[in-house]
Amino acid sequence: MSTGELERLGEELVVVATRLSRLATRNVNTLPHAAMRVLGRLDELGEARISELAKADRCSQPTMSNLVQRLEEQGWVRRGSDPADSRASLISLTDAGLAELRGARSQAGAALAAHLGQLPAHDLATLEAAATVIHKLLAIEPLEATPR
């Protein structure tokens, strides 16, 4: 594929992934969307500083601090000391937070299952294969950004 074709495919994947995520989480009532994103990020990363979470979520550090505080009050995340910087905290997912995240993901999966059940078997097989490829894509290390 040419660079242009790869860029168009990348754009299409971003659009459909975003729409699919909205469809799946539209009726998730266990977690607010922002909380689900942060808990999911912590599930993926392990532990992270608030600044890293804010950058990953594309929000301000004060916004992320407020969200983390609410999640901490719910018992879904905990703050720990950062051994690399005594002024900073590392945020991690608690067992209760993981349980909430799994519940929300289960609801989202059930919402998609209602749609998936309307597809023919060959489309479902294609989606299974696509999910495997997407996992591979997510595991690829990003290329170093070249200076401009």
Q: pLDDT confidence of 135, banded at 50, 70, 90?
A: very high
**148 domain-assigned:** no
Question: Which pLDDT value is given to residue 148?
Answer: 43
Question: Which pLDDT value is given to residue 124?
Answer: 97
Residue 110's CATH number: 1.10.10.10
Question: Which pLDDT value is given to residue 66?
Answer: 95
| Sign, Cα dihedral of 57, 62, 65, 70 | negative
What mean pLDDT is predicted for residues 96-103? 94
Q: pLDDT confidence of 144, banded at 50, 70, 90?
A: low
15-36 per-position pLDDT tens digit:
999 999 888 888 777 778 889 8
33 contacts: CB under 8 Å, gap ≥ 6: 25
What's the chain's length in residues?
148
**145 domain-assigned:** no
**147 domain-assigned:** no
**74 domain-assigned:** yes
User: Which residues on neighbouring strands pair with residue 82, listed in sequence order?
Assistant: 85
5 contacts: CB under 8 Å, gap ≥ 6: none
65-81 per-position pLDDT tens digit:
999 999 999 999 999 98
DSSP annotation string for 22-47: HHHHTT--SS-HHHHHHHHHHHHHSE
| pLDDT reading at 113 higher than 80 | yes
33-61 per-position pLDDT tens digit:
889 899 999 998 889 999 999 998 899 99
Alpha-helical regions (H) of the chain: 3-25, 33-45, 50-57, 61-74, 95-116, 121-139
Both tokens of 117, joined, read 């059940």
CA pair distance 102, 93, nearest whole angstrom: 12
CA pair distance 42, 36, nearest whole angstrom: 10
Q: How many domains does the chain divide into?
A: 1
**97 domain-assigned:** yes
Pairing of strands 85-93, 47-48: antiparallel
Question: Which pLDDT value is given to residue 29?
Answer: 77
Determine the structural domain holding residue 124 and report its residue range.
3-139
